Amino acid sequence: MWKMKGINGLIFAIFVVGLWIQICCGQNISRGSFPKGFVFGTASSAYQYEGAVKEDGRGPTIWDTFAHTFGKILDFSNADVANDQYHLYSEDIKLMKDMGMDAYRFSIAWSRIYPNGTGEINQAGINHYNNLINALLANGIEPYVTIYHWDLPQSLEDRYLGWLNPQIIKDFAVYAETCFNEFGDRVKYWITFNEPHTSAVQGYDVGLQAPNRCSILLRAFCRAGNSATEPYIVAHNILLSHAAVVDIYKKKYQPNQRGSIGITLDSFWYEPATNSSDDIQATQRAIDFNLGWFIEPLTLGDYPSSMKTRVGSRLPIFSKIQSNQVKGSFDFIGINHYTTWYASVNKTNIIGVLLNDSLADSGASTLPFKNAKPISERANSVWLYIVPHGIRNLMNHIKQKYGNPLVLITENGMDDGNPPFQSIKDAIKDEKRIKYHNDYLTNLLAAIKEDGCNVKGYFVWSLLDNWEWGAGYSSRFGLYYVDYNDKLKRYAKNSVKWFKNFLSS
């Protein structure tokens, strides 16, 4: 048998392993396939990762309240410990570095900086994020910081109903400016908000997320709210808060700190259920009421015409000054994209009338199946169907309708379940996840190289299995398996090996 020794043998072994991964897992793209300077990273959020909810002066948030309310979380869990990244961040940074990731997107917990939302700064919180940022940079990993990822300080909710009150614009601006002042010398990429659409709809329309507000016919789920008006008010205040903070950053900090600032929007892609003109028009409205709700004010200065027509007086109005401030208030747009659904016209609207529900305002029914047949294979989550070409279609839509702005894919990924008796050995065999990322990245690459879409980064959701909001620990999105029964030990899934090979090629 032919043997190779020394460095030649090592090179040959690496080649064989790489070839095996490509053959067995279908990898035919790599980092080198993407344009020079394209950024690859992983993503997280403070509430889902940090834990340590009562340490070092952190104040309570609306998600602490929600998670500790009986029946709100699928597996009755909470994020008091989560992945304990508050203490284990050094270990996790080593995992990122070993994979070859360029960047880490994480969020700052508002209530660690201002435990009561306003008032005195909590120095322990500042110290923690300074340590995290410095450790990332020391390991060659660029921090991408989300200023708000859903975890509003509970005190602001108690004081004036949080995002429903225009006072939030001033308080958020003070908090954000504190972040720029304390961390902006090293943080060069800022994201003001994560998924304002999800915050507005899930928190204030259907009440499935904090702060758990919805209309009277949904009172079994919520104690207060108005699903027909509150989502629009919240969205409006978030957009104005975003614009105010971007204005502060660009005028006071960007000239010296030389960073970039944007916002992250979530968007499904939607395909017409049939070729009928009614379904095609309903599909456009579904996109308008998801992505367009936020990206049109940012790029064009106002809400989509379909929203203004169908929502009417319930939709807040931008003054001319506000419109000018919101329009163009970004250096980049972050997009969180996971899945594609069908859309069809909703002619009866019975559910919307009964529930007085803003979701029905679009006049579109959106489902992941038609004629009882799913659009594609499903991941673990009931909403997450694997449709790789959707990301290419979405990027082209943004290019064609909104002037091809600079886009970062700030989240993309899929989850497995968490069967109680599954071994770790079996859980780390995540070939479906490998195929998911390979196929979505292949379509993203086509959008960039063949279609000319202006996309410069891709962040995997998520580095680790984590506390997945209403699903608790029943959903595993991580590249690394977290053993919640054994001191939160991290285990590399097969997808880690895939990404390591992808990023080193």
> Active-site positions?
195, 411
CB distance 305 to 330 below 8 Å? no
Q: What burial letters (b/e) apply to 445-476, b meaning 16+ CB within 10 Å?
A: bbbbeeeebbbebbbbbbbbbbbbbbbbbbbb
37: left (phi over 0), alpha (psi -120 to 50) or beta: left
Question: What residues contact residue 415 under an 8 Å CB cut-off, 6+ apart?
Answer: 379, 380, 381, 384, 468, 475, 476, 477
Distance (Å, whole) CA 202 – CA 9: 55
Q: Tell me the C-alpha to C-alpha distance, in Å, between residue 126 and each of 181, 371, 399, 483.
A: 11, 54, 38, 29
Q: Rounding to the nearest 10 degrees, give the CA dihedral for residues 198, 199, 201, 205.
A: 160
In angstroms, the CA 494 to CA 351 distance is 44
CA atoms within 13 A on the CB side of 12: 8
Structure tokens at 322: 């506000």
* Rounded to 5°, angle at Cα 461 from 460 and 462: 100
Q: Give me the amino acid identity at 119.
A: G
